[in-house]
Structure 1
Amino acid sequence: MSEDEKNPARAVIADYAQAHFRYFRTADGTVYAQKNGHPVARPIRSQGTTGSHRQELMVGLFKDGVGVFNGTALKEALDLIEALALTEDVQPVHIRVAPGFDGATWLDLGRDDGKSVRIHPAGWDVLTPDPREVCWRRTQLTGELPLPAKDTDGKGIDLLLRLCNFANAETECLAIAWLIGCLGPSVPVPAPFLTGPQGAGKSTGGRMLVRIIEGMSGDLRRAPKDEENLVAAVAAGWVTALDNLSHMTPDLSDAMCCIVTGIESVKRALFTDGDVFRVGYRRPLLLTGIDVGVIRPDLAERLLPLRLERPRVRRTEAELWADYEEALPVVLGSLLDLTVKVRAVEAETPTDLRMADFARLCAQLDAATGLGALTAYRASLDDLNDDVIEGDLLAQTVLRHADTIEPGTAQRMTSTEWLHCLSRLYSGEDLRALPKGWPTTGKVLSDRLKRLQPTLSARGVVIDSGRTSEGRYLEMTRLATAPPHEQQRML
């Protein structure tokens, strides 16, 4: 055979690859490879240790007797395949949960055979997804889940609650609501904050909740020192669990708000000056700790406090986790049964709560089971508002001043006038010094009041701003009647 009749190695590799793999791109331009008939997709440029497409392709070429090729031929073939894939239709990839056709959702079990759970209006089934419906993205954080048990009759939920040390029924129903929310790919859920005295099993309880979704390899992590590392960890998994928090910096608080409700991060691509890559993420978040100090109002609206108590009888770690692992298939099966039941129920969406999707899920859970999750959720938000107020001297001073305003009326001043008014009220007759962090200018006060607005509104005080011909103003209104949830609290 002449040299002209020989196929170059890159052509042999490209022909084999296109015959055995499906290539497509995502909205951010990343090209993925998916073995024919298998739901897991891998980025063709990945060099990760979880099995890159390059390694997958080399093994396939060798086992099928095509040959062993050098790195240059593989690179040239993948360059060509990547260029061709950029002209294909866009399809998203998903980690752990994904939307499907006809109102269904999928849960990736993390298995090598690709079997996953399809949750649909009539029930749930263990199937291998059609690549046209869902493509899974696997990382080192994607653990394997057991095959869920069928016909559990709710026994798994009871098993889980017996293993955890939740303080009361209200905490239990909120934990269940959060787990159901984690199975929804498009529903933002507040971040459970497991609190309680030392020895209450907060870390153990957090691991139990996480491992229902992430498998036995799921674990808690220390909070990263910077936002970049936090984003990388969050984007690589589904549930992110941060353990033993003792302090919440403003940057970490803002980052957690973004994780819960979703945001996109844009960064410069490596080895380029003008190119960028995009990382979009919205993930369930779980926190544990005894006390994190002052909680900022915007984060408080996104938290779900779950209180635990010290167990009366201690068990060894080996015994506890052996029982948990044995119960996990039943727990997962019961959770799936309950999820189907809850999704089939119609309920009104509360319009006064920030996390409206989760509030609606609580209302659906109540309609399906009668647990009282929505009432418990409102009570938890009231407790968090109290925590915010107790940790913020400005909020306390504003509420003291609001008590002097006639209900149903408003008081209007410039931000500088409000600063003098509130500073005098705090200092009092003994002229005590203003605390560290007290606003120093009208602009700083205005910004602080905007951040405190949800907390103050929950206590019947509304702060508004506007402009007249004379300049900008801040207006404080004391509502004639307390908000509905505040009225329930006073009963």
Structure 2
Amino acid sequence: MFTPNMTGHETDAMNDDSVLLRMLGTHPVDNHVMTGNPDREPDEPSEISTNRESLIPTAGLDGVPAALRVEVEASTTPMSESAPRGGKKPTPPTAAQLIQLVSKQYRFVKDTLNGGLYAVRDGVATRIREKAFGARMSRMAMEAFGAPADRQTKNAVVDYFEDVAGDAIEDVHMRVAEASDGSVWIDNIGPEGLQVRITGEGYKLHKPGEVKEAPLFHRPAYMKPLPVPENGGHPGMLWQVVNVSDLGQQGLAIAWLVYSLITETRSFPICLLEAENGSAKTTASRIMLDLIDPSSIAASGLPGGTRDLAVMSGNVHVLRFDNISTMTYDWQDKFCRISTGDAFTTRELYSDRDLTVFTIKCPVIMTTISTWDTRPDFGQRVLKITLPRIEAERRLRESEVEDRWNEVRGRVFGALLDLAVRVKQIVGTVDSGARYTPDLPRMADFGMVLAAIDEIYPQCHCMDAYRAQQLQLVHDEAEEEPLLVAMENALCFDRGTWTGTSRELLNALEFQLEQAKARTWKSAPVSPRDVTRVLDRYAQVLRAKGWTIEHSLGTGNDSGSRVWTIKRPGE
């Protein structure tokens, strides 16, 4: 999930009454405040009584200068008195009047993670700098005053609440929240925007704000509701519209969907749908997203940079990318950080000092025709789902796919929630110590879900399928790296354990490296530092293939150098 950190404006302005009065739409004129219609003549009696008790909550004015407090209270007109009378043209609200109106309907909290300010109503939080909140203020002004608030007034209101925001801090979630009691909440279900709470005993739908202890959710403007869960379904119904035929691959896809529905704070595997042209990869990705994070933001190519990626992650629970033909090492490193959690800091717009912090940690799904050259770190985070070729006689029109999907959508989602309940039951017994799952993969939390799915559907062999594809990735990576190819053919390892520095290894493999250049497109190492870098990156790959590889700091003539101890498999 993602939350921007809005650090606000310079606090020196809080001590300048005239600046704040202008911000709130009030002006000191001849020692009195002109309110209501700014076109009224100075000697015309004001429609607002300065003796009226302010309707702005007292807490909302904490820290505001006394003189300004009087101005705000004096310029606050109840809605009934601001309504047009006798055919008089409606008067747009001042900032102070809009502040009073907003304060009655919203409370304001800061996100625990990054301190972003949110307006909360009916259990749903909205970032106050979002266009959606500005649109709500316009509707409120129309209903109360008969005239919309202009942009300057709305900006002044937002500035005001940022400046006087209190110390109310809460966790703000998007789509999925893991509660402290072990339950999981999923937000925005069906046209009513319901929420579902999942425990090891079952799941139940609630209206937003119905449960006092429910987590606080943020709903971006692009978010679409999940389907209403229906009974009588089975996860296997998904394959009526998603082109995955292998039983092990089906189990991996279901495990990823369930994991994405019940996980918020742990590491996420990157789901990679791989197939040749015409295998319905894009359709499969869209339908899978429809079960965990439907959005009007469609899958596309990689964004222009890290900031664009961070902004995208603030509007979806699952990042989605389509037809990625290649990926640089830099982008692979970015996705590795997203998988385990990353923070991106940049200068706040229109500010020289303030910073905005984007925190990204979420599931990722992408499609490709063929897997590009991958680094070991990225490959160990990938969950590859291979789609078979679709024969001409089996092809369906898009309308047929949509009809089939709409028919089973609610039942498949209900079946996923039922499966999530059973997975939480099994994982809960492991967490309590009642059972133990040995030999977990690197993505250990996802491995727990794979083990649970295997217990529920033993015929899927999810864990075996996952380990097999990880092992295949290891072999593919080893065959592309010149240093590893040279080590496979080096005679120096035939005499048992070899010990030496990176420079000595480079010299010992000189002949084999020349031969390896013809077998792979990658550049061979040319310096001891290159050797050290490659061995550090591929040490786990070598160990997975049975090699013994360790290192220590040298002494004497080798002081400060890396000394390697290497042994070929079976020696």
Deviation at 1:195, TM superposition (A): 1.6
SS of the residue corresponding to residue 236 of structure 1 reads: coil
| Aligned residue in 2 for 1:489 | none
Which of 196, 220, 226 lines up with 2:305 in the alignment? 226
SS of the residue corresponding to residue 305 of structure 1 reads: strand
The aligned amino acid for 1:77 is V
Which of 465, 470, 473 lines up with 1:384 in the alignment? 473
Instruction: Select the structure of larger CA radius of gyration.
Output: 2
The answer (yes or no) to whether the contact 2:513–2:524 under 8 Å persists in 1 is: no
Tell me whether 394-403 or 284-293 shows the greater mean CA deviation.
394-403
| Aligned residue in 2 for 1:239 | 318
| Aligned residue in 2 for 1:442 | 528
| Aligned residue in 2 for 1:485 | none
Note the alpha carbon deviations across 1:456-484, whole angstroms, 9 max, x for none.
121112433321323222324337779xx
Deviation at 1:263, TM superposition (A): 0.9
The aligned amino acid for 1:169 is L
The answer (yes or no) to whether the contact 1:207–1:218 under 8 Å persists in 2 is: no
Partners of 1:396 and 1:92 lie apart in 2 by: 50
Partners of 1:182 and 1:383 lie apart in 2 by: 25
- CA distance change for structure 1 residues 304 and 436 in 2, over 3 Å: closer, same or farther? closer
Note the alpha carbon deviations across 1:259-312, whole angstroms, 9 max, x for none.
222111111111222221111111111121121331111110001111111234
The answer (yes or no) to whether the contact 1:349–1:356 under 8 Å persists in 2 is: no
Deviation at 1:76, TM superposition (A): 3.6
Note the alpha carbon deviations across 1:325-363, whole angstroms, 9 max, x for none.
221111110000001011101343445521111111111
The answer (yes or no) to whether the contact 1:402–1:461 under 8 Å persists in 2 is: no
Deviation at 1:19, TM superposition (A): 1.4
The answer (yes or no) to whether the contact 1:23–1:32 under 8 Å persists in 2 is: yes
- CA distance change for structure 1 residues 136 and 25 in 2, over 3 Å: closer, same or farther? same
Note the alpha carbon deviations across 1:89-125, whole angstroms, 9 max, x for none.
2112222111235211111226564312211221111
| Aligned residue in 2 for 1:293 | 372
Query: How many residues are aligned here?
Result: 469
SS of the residue corresponding to residue 509 of structure 2 reads: helix
Which of 75, 94, 119 lines up with 1:7 in the alignment? 75
| Aligned residue in 2 for 1:84 | 164
The aligned amino acid for 1:17 is V
| Aligned residue in 2 for 1:425 | 512
Which of 33, 37, 62 lines up with 2:119 in the alignment? 33
The aligned amino acid for 1:39 is G
SS of the residue corresponding to residue 103 of structure 1 reads: coil
Which of 405, 408, 414 lines up with 1:333 in the alignment? 414
The aligned amino acid for 1:399 is E
The answer (yes or no) to whether the contact 1:196–1:202 under 8 Å persists in 2 is: yes
SS of the residue corresponding to residue 286 of structure 2 reads: helix
Which of 216, 220, 228 lines up with 1:139 in the alignment? 220
| Aligned residue in 1 for 2:462 | 373
The aligned amino acid for 1:43 is R
- CA distance change for structure 1 residues 40 and 227 in 2, over 3 Å: closer, same or farther? same
| Aligned residue in 2 for 1:250 | 329
- CA distance change for structure 1 residues 252 and 97 in 2, over 3 Å: closer, same or farther? same
The answer (yes or no) to whether the contact 2:255–2:450 under 8 Å persists in 1 is: yes
Tell me whether 410-419 or 65-74 shows the greater mean CA deviation.
65-74
Partners of 2:49 and 2:386 lie apart in 1 by: 75
- CA distance change for structure 1 residues 98 and 437 in 2, over 3 Å: closer, same or farther? same
Q: CA RMSD in A?
A: 2.7
The aligned amino acid for 1:338 is L
The answer (yes or no) to whether the contact 2:189–2:228 under 8 Å persists in 1 is: no
| Aligned residue in 1 for 2:339 | 260
TM-score, structure 1 normalization: 0.88
Partners of 2:472 and 2:322 lie apart in 1 by: 22
Tell me whether 296-305 or 88-97 shows the greater mean CA deviation.
88-97
The aligned amino acid for 1:13 is L
Note the alpha carbon deviations across 1:399-454, whole angstroms, 9 max, x for none.
34499356xx64221111112222322335x9979965211211122112111122
TM-score, structure 2 normalization: 0.76
Deviation at 1:217, TM superposition (A): 4.3
Gaps of 5+ in 1: 483-491
SS of the residue corresponding to residue 343 of structure 2 reads: strand
The aligned amino acid for 2:157 is A
The aligned amino acid for 1:288 is T
The aligned amino acid for 2:344 is S
Tell me whether 333-342 or 93-102 shows the greater mean CA deviation.
93-102
- CA distance change for structure 1 residues 181 and 114 in 2, over 3 Å: closer, same or farther? same
- CA distance change for structure 1 residues 76 and 293 in 2, over 3 Å: closer, same or farther? closer
| Aligned residue in 2 for 1:124 | 203
The aligned amino acid for 1:258 is R
Which of 129, 133, 144 lines up with 1:45 in the alignment? 129
The answer (yes or no) to whether the contact 1:362–1:373 under 8 Å persists in 2 is: yes
SS of the residue corresponding to residue 356 of structure 2 reads: strand
Tell me whether 158-167 or 312-321 shows the greater mean CA deviation.
158-167
Which of 159, 164, 168 lines up with 2:246 in the alignment? 168
Note the alpha carbon deviations across 1:235-257, whole angstroms, 9 max, x for none.
32111221112212111111111
Which of 320, 329, 336 lines up with 2:401 in the alignment? 320
The answer (yes or no) to whether the contact 1:181–1:187 under 8 Å persists in 2 is: no
| Aligned residue in 2 for 1:356 | 444
Mapped pair 1:158 → 2:236: yes
The answer (yes or no) to whether the contact 1:245–1:288 under 8 Å persists in 2 is: yes
The answer (yes or no) to whether the contact 2:482–2:517 under 8 Å persists in 1 is: no
Tell me whether 180-189 or 219-228 shows the greater mean CA deviation.
219-228
Mapped pair 1:211 → 2:211: no
Deviation at 1:164, TM superposition (A): 1.9
- CA distance change for structure 1 residues 431 and 118 in 2, over 3 Å: closer, same or farther? closer
SS of the residue corresponding to residue 344 of structure 1 reads: helix
Deviation at 1:231, TM superposition (A): 2.8
| Aligned residue in 1 for 2:71 | none
| Aligned residue in 1 for 2:553 | 467
Deviation at 1:65, TM superposition (A): 4.5
Deviation at 1:396, TM superposition (A): 2.3
